[in-house]
Amino acid sequence: MHGEYKVPGGKLVVVDLDVEGGVLRHVRVAGDFFLEPDEAIGAIDNALEGAPATTDATGLAARITAALPKDTVMFGLTAEGVAIAVRRALAQATEWGDYDWQLIHDQPQPPALHMALDEVITAEVAAGRRAPTLRVWEWDAPAVIIGSFQSLRNEVDAEGTARHGVTVVRRISGGGAMFAEPQSTITYSLAVPEALVSGLSFADSYAYLDDWVLGALGDMGIRAWYQPLNDIATEVGKVAGAAQKRMVGPDGGPGAVLHHVTMSYDIDAAKMLDVLRIGKEKLSDKGTKSAKKRVDPLRRQTGLPREEVIARMIGSFRDRYGLTRGAVTDAELARAEELVRTKFAHEEWTARVP
């Protein structure tokens, strides 16, 4: 069995192993990390040898930590990262490079249609009818997008959205409310087979699926990192928030994961505060006193036009994993438009949590 895991902000960990009699055998850990002293790598292998194959990542990491020589130094490597690589090997997880990735980047579309396309495309990936897909959104109107379980009246100022002509929609994933304007927001979705995140905890899957965009931002001179549970942050503030939805496959088999991210290229903070009800508890939780300081736009940090930031992000993904230009099929669009009529543009869905 073979498993790989790139430690967030670190290096690639590769594990090869067998399972015999319900325990790990012939464990070999490798990668492009740095580790001192030399004998530490053998200690890691030995710590994993004989471990029950049912041991979770926390238990595996504890075995590794207990076995490391005194004064061991890890750079780009963690005990937890090795443990996750082991769990991915046991789960027979796939890797990014195992797939032929498709890009969808269409003309501006209505907010409700974006919600529907996320559901339809992820369902198609789950059913095996579509390749894993990166979809970059373009908005035709400003919008507030609330999480699946959020209260509409608690999150949205109805008078503010009416005053500014802002459409309110509810997405299928959880998480918090986002404010998006066509030229001030960068939004993308990843629809990926469940096998890509096999062996990862829910939290670890966020970091794993965000890693490519951290690299893309780094290429633009921004040092960014994953901030649990679902933020991308920099030294001067948050730049993005992510959310996920899991879908089962046909007949309850392996499915797909929708991972979508909204990034602030620029932001009208005064308008955002006029359309969103941002509570004191949320601000306190983020350790800030003002909502205006919670999100730091990419425009200021990169000095690049929005279109160039998007082009560089797409180029970074293509360089890493390959990417072929694709499109929403006629059948997918028809299904999405039906969902707009019956669900995403309906008050029954938008106000399902009043």
pLDDT averages per 10-residue partition of the chain, 354 residues: 92 97 98 97 98 97 97 96 97 95 98 98 97 98 97 96 97 96 97 96 93 95 91 91 94 92 93 83 46 72 96 98 97 98 97 96
Task: Order across the sheet with 178-180: list the strands.
Answer: 167-170, 143-146, 178-180
SS3 171: coil
SS3 93: coil
Is 116 within 8 Å of 122 (Cβ atoms)? no
Q: CA 171 to CA 174: how far, in whole Å?
A: 8
Q: CA 240 to CA 145: how far, in whole Å?
A: 14
Dihedral of alpha carbons 120, 125, 129, 131, sign: positive
**Where on the phi/psi map is residue 67: left (φ > 0), alpha (ψ -120 to 50), or beta?**
alpha
The reported pLDDT for the residue numbered 289 is 45
As given in the structure block, the two tokens for residue 222 are 């921004």
The reported pLDDT for the residue numbered 45 is 98
The reported pLDDT for the residue numbered 322 is 97
Q: CA 195 to CA 191: how far, in whole Å?
A: 12
As given in the structure block, the two tokens for residue 273 are 């505060």
Of 199, 217, 197, the residue nearest 208 (C-alpha) = 197
